[in-house]
Amino acid sequence: MTREPKTPFRTGFVALIGRPNVGKSTLLNRLIGERLAITSHKPQTTRHRILGITTSDQAQLICVDTPGLHLRGDQPLNRHLNRTAHSALADVDLLLFVVEALRWGEEDARVLEIVQQSGLPTILVVNKVDLVHPREALFPYLQAHASDHNFIAVVPISARKNGQLGGLEQQMIAQLPEREAIFPEDQLSDRSERFFAAELVREQLTRRYAKEIPYALTVEIERFEEEGELYRIHALVWVEKPGQKAILIGKGGEAMREAATHARLEMERFFGRKVFLQVWVKVKKSWSSDEQALARLGYSE
């Protein structure tokens, strides 16, 4: 009786790269099967490099979510976002260049240049195909951009609706080197629970105030304590102007209470335990333009 040869186990780092708001964080969450990266309809919601780890019988995929690469690099926060995205390309095995179906602009072209300069094997991932009607309208777009670079594959997907991700995952695994897993099979990320607590608060505020103050706020966790089955968390929200503080708090504090309640419920789902959350809002003028303030608030790699 002839035995089938054992399929080699593969492990590797995969960086998700693209302009802001193409769906990289949603794609990361789908690939990992857990909502690690916060999402909103506002560009530049992702501000940090996040590792998402998923392990199967075939492979360990270590996906690196990055801030969207953009052309506005004049402010310290914007420079940090671009540096973070660039640094994620170091020592990865594969790139996923994520674009939005039927859209291509100057920022996409700039990311393509970075892909070409990297010399890394790259899959072109065309996201949001569920929004294309009729579907035949997608074909000229795929043909036009498939020839932009020597891509390993061009894969149309819908990260939001989980469409065609199985095929993408198999394409990714095929490109990874044969080696043992790097992380324990039950580990989902390299980030701490404290980090995720801050991100879940920021997500609620970014979604609720997408037009008013998405870029002018950040969240710092001042206290994170475990008391039996309870997490006691104190979060400090920094904004740049007194008027922004008033918007976040709302009349009688009702707006902040509602946002904090939703953030607490998301934390309880994510951490799998009860959470006591208190949130304060403070003003620090021009924190996003202050290099020292950015470093203290965790905007460094």
Looking at every residue in the chain, the average pLDDT score rounds to 87
- The CB-side HSE value for 251 (13 A sphere, CA atoms) comes to 0
Of 164-178, 239-253, 283-297, the one with minimum mean pLDDT is 283-297
């905007």: which residue's tokens? Answer: 299
Q: Say if CB 81 and CB 70 are below 8 A apart.
A: yes
Give the confidence band of 70 by pLDDT, cuts at 50, 70, 90: low
Question: What does the alpha-carbon distance between residue 1 and residue 274 come to, in Å, rounded to a whole number?
Answer: 55
Question: What does the alpha-carbon distance between residue 297 and residue 196 come to, in Å, rounded to a whole number?
Answer: 14
For the chain, give the percent of residues with pLDDT over 70.
84
- Per-residue pLDDT, 3: 46
Span 250-270, pLDDT tens digits? 889 998 999 999 999 999 999
Of 41-55, 211-225, 230-244, the one with minimum mean pLDDT is 41-55
Query: Per-domain residue ranges for the chain?
Result: 10-174, 193-296
- Per-residue pLDDT, 299: 63
Question: What does the alpha-carbon distance between residue 146 and residue 126 come to, in Å, rounded to a whole number?
Answer: 10
Q: Say whether 55 sits in a helix, a strand or coil.
A: strand
Residue 292 pLDDT > 60: yes
C-alpha distances out from residue 273 to 203, 230, 263, Å: 20, 6, 14
| 10-174 fold | Rossmann fold (3.40.50)
- Per-residue pLDDT, 158: 95
Closest by alpha carbon to 44, among 17, 76, 21, 23? 21
What are the residues whose beta carbons fall under 8 Å from the beta carbon of 82, sequence distance 6 or more? Answer: 67, 69, 70, 73
The CATH code of the domain at 193-296 is: 3.30.300.20
Neighbours of 33 (CB within 10 A): 10
Structure tokens at 190: 């390299």
Span 15-57, pLDDT tens digits? 999 988 899 989 999 999 988 876 766 555 566 778 899 999 9
Asked if the domains 10-174 and 193-296 are classified in one and the same CATH topology, the answer is no
Question: What does the alpha-carbon distance between residue 115 and residue 151 come to, in Å, rounded to a whole number?
Answer: 10
